[in-house]
């Protein structure tokens, strides 16, 4: 394994019964990278992320994380070694406050001073959450809830952040804020693997972009090389 390579996915195959959702996918995420998966609806992007975090069983293939083969590791053990997955949609606990949501994200929930320190770090990274720490999460805007979902995942001090369409359904201003935050997360040495299909700016800021088409990775390029035309080509085949 390359020393700067944090995640390596080799020849992954995933099926839902008869539906072969991922046929053959290999990718790597470097230690300081944002890696983006693109592809049309049903291409297998969400399935691939879920297989990497262990939510779905593999038919074939291998997942190596930090040099360790984690192919057969259960989900909770993957979380424990630093894989954090924020699924599609904003899964925050609506009736709880922002601060309570963050506390729930701390993986080892016993060291109170450490949790408090981590929470303060999150408030620095997401000033929008700091102002509202006592507000009920369910009353925040979609963008704010997305920020909270990301911050909660970061509470566990992951070594890799996996995000499924973090800009989905957000206003242009909120999309800008989320993307800025992702760049700051990368600058704190936490690499990000994300699915993005609509926001060209989000795709262009990625160090590496993989294009999926009907379950197969068909192209790999630097984010800066991605234009509207290139995307159209991958989405429309």
* List of residues contacting ligand ATP (CB under 6 A): 16, 19, 21, 39, 41-47, 197
170 close to 178: Cβ distance less than 8 angstroms? yes
Torsion of CA 39, 41, 43, 49, to 10 degrees: 80
Min dist CB 216 to ligand ATP, Å, is: 12
Q: Which is nearer to ligand ATP, 25 or 34 (CB)?
A: 25
In the complex, least distance from residue 100 CB atom to ligand ATP, rounded to whole angstroms: 30
Q: Which is closer to ligand ATP, CB of 16 or CB of 228?
A: 16
In the bound state with ligand ATP, the residue whose beta carbon lies nearer, of 9 and 43, is 43
> CB 72 → ligand ATP: shortest distance, Å?
22
In whole angstroms, give the CA distance from residue 196 to residue 174. 15
Any idea what the Cα angle at residue 57 is, between residues 54 and 60, rounded to 5°? 110
> Which runs of consecutive H residues, i.e. helices, occur in the chain?
45-52, 75-80, 98-105, 112-125, 127-130, 142-154, 172-187, 200-204, 228-236
The smaller minimum CB distance to ligand ATP, of residues 19 and 114, is found at 19
Q: How far is the CB of 14 from ligand ATP (least distance, A)?
A: 8
Q: Measure the CA–CA gap between 29 and 191, rounded to whole angstroms.
A: 7
Assign 3-class secondary structure to 117-157. HHHHHHHHHCHHHHCCCCCEHHHCCHHHHHHHHHHHHHCCC
- 3-state SS assignment for residue 225: helix
Nearer to ligand ATP, 49 or 190 (CB): 49
How far apart, in whole angstroms, are the C-alpha atoms of residue 234 and residue 237?
5
What's the closest the beta carbon of residue 158 comes to ligand ATP, in angstroms?
21
Nearer to ligand ATP, 123 or 234 (CB): 234
């Amino acid at each position: 394994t390359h020393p700067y390579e944090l995640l390596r996915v080799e020849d992954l195959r995933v099926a839902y019964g008869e539906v072969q959702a991922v046929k053959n996918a290999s990718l790597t995420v470097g230690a300081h990278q944002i890696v983006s998966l693109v592809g049309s609806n049903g291409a297998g992007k969400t399935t691939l992320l879920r297989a990497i975090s262990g939510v779905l069983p593999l038919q074939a293939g291998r997942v190596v994380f930090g040099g360790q083969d984690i192919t057969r590791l259960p989900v909770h053990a993957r979380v424990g070694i630093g894989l954090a997955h924020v699924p599609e949609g904003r899964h925050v606990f609506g009736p709880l406050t922002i601060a309570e949501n963050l506390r729930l994200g701390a993986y080892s929930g016993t060291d109170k001073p450490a949790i408090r320190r981590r929470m303060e770090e999150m408030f620095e990274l997401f000033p929008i959450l700091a102002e509202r720490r006592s507000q009920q999460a369910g009353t925040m805007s979609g963008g704010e809830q997305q920020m909270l979902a990301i911050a909660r995942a970061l509470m566990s001090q992951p070594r890799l952040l996996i995000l499924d369409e973090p800009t989905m359904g957000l206003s242009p201003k909120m999309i800008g804020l989320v993307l800025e935050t992702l760049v700051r997360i990368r600058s704190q040495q936490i690499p990000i693997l994300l699915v993005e299909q609509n926001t060209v700016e989000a795709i262009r800021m990625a160090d590496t972009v993989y294009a999926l088409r009907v379950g197969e990775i068909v192209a790999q390029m630097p984010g800066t090389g991605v234009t509207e035309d290139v995307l159209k080509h991958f989405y429309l085949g």
